[in-house]
Chains A and B, each alone.
Chain A
């Protein structure tokens, strides 16, 4: 049976989440296992046996991590959507609204679509890596709005 640190380390390796979320989860599970082991210790088991029994009752690290990932992957999907929205709007701004203004009026823009596309693709990757959820969405929104304004 693994020790507390071995179990938590194994669990951490299976979570594939960002560090703050991972730490938050591990802190709570550590607290649970320490208290559970203490209860077993009070019932007459030595500390090692107590922790072993606590871990056995808690369940396989892989299963707990899999279920926890499911909860947070939904948030990651939300983050991708949050990032997609400002990117899509910026694209629309660049290729629909600006050309329309050029056609209707006499406005001449400084279009750099290659840079905007690269940034947009990069922005789509970031939420999946960091899972910062809506905070990233807002940051992406501000970033692309500034680019759009700067190019006017």
Chain B
């Protein structure tokens, strides 16, 4: 289960960034809040992922000065990142539907 959660981190981060640009700490807090603690991971592991996404052109980082406190690096999703998000989200939806079907707990039948 840990591997599943780890594998889904990129699509989760992309989905947050698709809503609005966010910095690392905010992303960690949002993931924790929205999943009610389920996606609770060491926050430091988020940064290698963000840097990889930036290198692969899925996200773009930009430093912004904050009046009170240290500067923050805000990440926003790129057009390529949106394409990857759409594809990954569809794959995860199919995966979860198929899994629930096998387990006999499907809410609705899989479309494909």
Contact = CB atoms under 8 A, between A and B. Distances in A.
A38 B42 CA distance: 18
Nearest to A31: B70
Interface string A46-65: 00000000000111100110
Interface stretch (A22-30, A91-99, A104-112, A123-131): A22-30
B36 to A, nearest CB: 17
B42 A59 contact: yes
Q: Kindly name the residue among B25, B52, B73 whose own CB sees the greatest number of chain A CB atoms within 10 A.
A: B25
Interface in B2-53: 23-25, 28, 42-45, 47-48, 51-52
A71 B52 contact: yes
Contact of B69 (A25, A38, A67): A38
Contacts of B43: 32, 36, 57-59
User: Interface residue tally of chain B, by bracket?
Assistant: 10 to 19
A145 interface: no
A113 B70 CA distance: 54
A116 interface: no
A36 B25 contact: yes
Given A28-B73, A59-B45, A70-B48, 19 more contacts: A25-B51, A29-B44, A29-B47, A31-B24, A31-B25, A31-B69, A32-B24, A34-B69, A35-B25, A35-B70, A35-B72, A36-B25, A38-B69, A57-B42, A58-B44, A60-B42, A64-B44, A64-B48, A71-B51
